[in-house]
Structure 1
Amino acid sequence: MALQKTLSLLLLSLLTLLGLGLVQLSYGETMYERFQRQHVDSKQRGVTSLYCNTMMQTRGMTRPRCKQFNTFIHADIGAINNICSTPNIRCKNGRMNCHAGIVRVTDCRLTASSPQNCRYEGRGSFRHVVIACEGNPLVPVHFDS
């Protein structure tokens, strides 16, 4: 009985960590790493369609199908992590683990797609963003808006 309780507790702990994205998933990327791959580009200030077409492809968001919309944040990951220390606000899904900040971004919107060919329009701005944060310490795991 004690062994069964211990195994159940270990399984529950592992599932919790997986749910938080703090342990690596089978494809080798945590939720934090996925957030960085999909949304962080501290070196560029791209606002063009060429920028979006290149970034969406190189960051793996055009396969198996074209992602409709994506935002790249042009700040270093430390500044983005600091957004997680702002007061909690409600996320679109109703959870209270979102945080807001103002950063420079490029929004990439899909304008045309055919097999193996995604085309995006880029638009840059300095705007309010909302990100979901989890873990201890809190780190960004989802771009909410």
Structure 2
Amino acid sequence: MALKTLVLFSLLVLGLLVIVGAQPSAFYTFQNRHMDPGSGPFGPLYCNRTMNRRNLLNRNFNTFVHESPDDVKDVCKERNYTCKNGQTNCHKSRNRMSISDCSITGRNPINYQTTNSRKYIIIACDPTGVWPVHFDDSM
């Protein structure tokens, strides 16, 4: 009887974890590539340090968003917006957000230019409409 109760309890806990907090791996990738909550503006070495620390040196261009994960997730609740690739699972932020654009300026050694701004972000969200999975653009 105790074993049966333990198994049922374990299944219940596992089910709750799946329903309540399962974050898809694509969201973790999005966070690594594009999320850096904090206040800016950031100095000229910000992109060099951050791109290196996150192992993103193979990218010619990257954008980091300096808002809370919840604020970025809330963009998924905005109306659908057409992505650059024609898909319709993108969403445009209601307000401008603090971002840093990192543009490669040299390869030997790898060097990035940091440009800080406040822009609307456009992100693609997963099929559930909850999790950001792709940074599409800013304007």
> TM-score, structure 1 length as denominator?
0.73
Shift of 1:119: 0.3
Q: Report what 1:45 is aligned to.
A: 40
Equivalent residues in 2 for 1:109-124 (5 A)?
A: 109-114=103-108, 117-124=109-116
The one-letter amino acid paired with 1:83 is V
Runs of 4+ in 1 over 4 A off after TM superposition: none
- Matched with 1:55 is 50
CA contact (8 A) 2:82 2:89 kept: yes
- Tell me if 1:31 matches 2:23: no
Query: Match for residue 100 of structure 2?
Result: 106
What does residue range 8-19 of structure 1 map to in structure 2 within 5 Å?
A: none
Give the residue type in structure 1 aligned to 2:117. Answer: S
Q: Which runs of 5+ in 2 are unaligned?
A: 1-22
Identity of aligned residues (%): 33
User: Which of the two has higher C-alpha Rg?
Assistant: 2
Q: Does 1:76 align with 2:76?
A: no
Please, what TM-score do these two structures have when normalized by structure 2? 0.76
Task: Decide whether the 8 Å contact of 2:36 with 2:66 is kept in 1.
Answer: yes
Three-state SS of the structure 2 residue aligned to 1:84 is helix
1:22-66 Cα deviation digits (max 9, x unpaired): 65xxxxxx111000001000024243331100000001101xxx3
Does 1:140 find its partner at 2:132? Answer: yes
Alpha-carbon distance between aligned partners in 2 of 1:38 and 1:48, rounded to the nearest angstrom? 19
Conserved 8 A contact 2:34-2:64: yes
- Whether contact under 8 Å (2:77, 2:129) holds in the other structure is no
Q: Of residues 97, 107, 132 in structure 1, which corresponds to 2:89?
A: 97
